[in-house]
Chain A
């Protein structure tokens, strides 16, 4: 193989190594785009709302059961 081809090949390998390192580390950080982060935040908010609604419903049921017991 010609020396110039070897040099170009080795430089391409170095670039590939750098690209793989960047990809692996940024993948470890998770989503970074603002759109993806917004979707994530929305999902968390929805989950919290659903949890609060369930807790309220449980509380209401408990109160109704207590009232029914008092009526009897």
Chain B
């Protein structure tokens, strides 16, 4: 697995991970905006609640796929030992993602838990990014 990741990224595992994690964080910010429009907390003339919900879900599906890819690359290449706070935040993030998917599947889109899980997810995305990509970009 380690060789596969090294070959796919042409030896730039950290750089690819930093780029993907940054895309994830940027999309997570966009998800917050879409969720606010979806719950009618923010009203925009050019975007209604229905389309915002649809795109929030589509973008969320993309985020899940990307997050799983980054997590697999991270765990198989670096493992848990070097992780520290980043590993803890990463695991909590994956757990929160799974919880949100479950909440949507079981409770539907009207589940009162969803906004709270969403906010927690965003916080975890930010914390996970800050403890790896943020550190790396700050150092370089």
Distance, CA A39 to CA B18, complexed state (A): 25
Q: B47: which of A10, A20, A32 is its contact (CB, 8 Å)? A: A10
Residues 1-36 of A, flagged 1 when their CB comes within 8 A of B and 0 if not, give 101001101110110011011101110110010000
Q: A18: which of B23, B50, B52, B140 is its contact (CB, 8 Å)? A: B23
Contact yes or no, A3 B50, CB < 8 A:
yes
Question: Chain A interface: which of B26-34, B73-81, B92-100, B108-116?
Answer: B26-34
Is the contact region of chain A dominated by helix, strand, or loop, or is it mixed?
Answer: helix
Size band of the A side of the interface? 20 to 34
B-to-A contact residues, CB < 8 Å: 12, 15, 18-19, 22-23, 25-27, 29-30, 34, 46-48, 50-52, 54-55, 58-59, 62, 133, 137, 140
